[in-house]
Amino acid sequence: MEKERIKLVSEPVQMDDGEAAEHDPLVGKVIAGHLEILSILGAGGMSTVYKAQHLLLDRLVAVKLVQAGQFKAKATMRFQQEAKAATKLNHPNIATVREFGVDEEGSAYLVMDFVEGMPLSDAIKKASSLDAARTRKLMIQICEGLKHAHEAGVVHRDLKPANIILSPGEGGQETAKLVDFGIAKIVDEESQANLTQTGEVFGTPNYMSPEQCL
């Protein structure tokens, strides 16, 4: 029997200009008892991504926090079930999801590895274009990460250069890391009524397959 596909949807994340980060009430606070929020990495319509210190693991992480009230009780349970699938992804080309839960304010969250590096989108802008050898190496890594996720029944749903981090390594080597496997399919379903009325779709049209855009 074919594995059931668990679709995860990620919102387009736009980098904050720093001013909003200064006024974000969570910066400097500890949520869920062990996640110290350090700064904002990006924000979308339903969620915010923070750089945080995991006080139990003593390591830097990225925390995607879904605003309280976005989920109903049943949806929260399904979110947790589907997020659990993402924690099983263990691959050098995927930023690992370490944990998930609901904080004291009722906001659902995912904790992912914090990846140092530059988004592929920024690398393309900086260099105008990538040479063939570098492109080939990165594409192989990206495909390996996707293959691992698909074999586990997990689909990214918003794969684009901004969601691929180029992490520097020794000797000038770089590793492509897929990030933002983040918000579960239930976010899509909870918003479906409004989306149907407005004709909006999840994902980034320029990087979606034709059948998804139609």
Enumerate the active-site residues: 158
User: Which residues touch 131 (CB under 8 Å, ≥6 apart)?
Assistant: none
Distance of CA 174 to the CA centre of its chain: 20
Q: Across the chain, which distance is largest between two alpha carbons, in Å?
A: 52
What's the rounded Cα separation, in Å, for the pair 63 and 113? 9
- 179 to 15, 29, 31, 147: CA distances (angstroms): 15, 24, 22, 15
Tokens in use for 152? 């586990």
Task: Identify the H or E element spanning 26.
Answer: none
Task: Identify the H or E element spanning 178.
Answer: strand 174-178
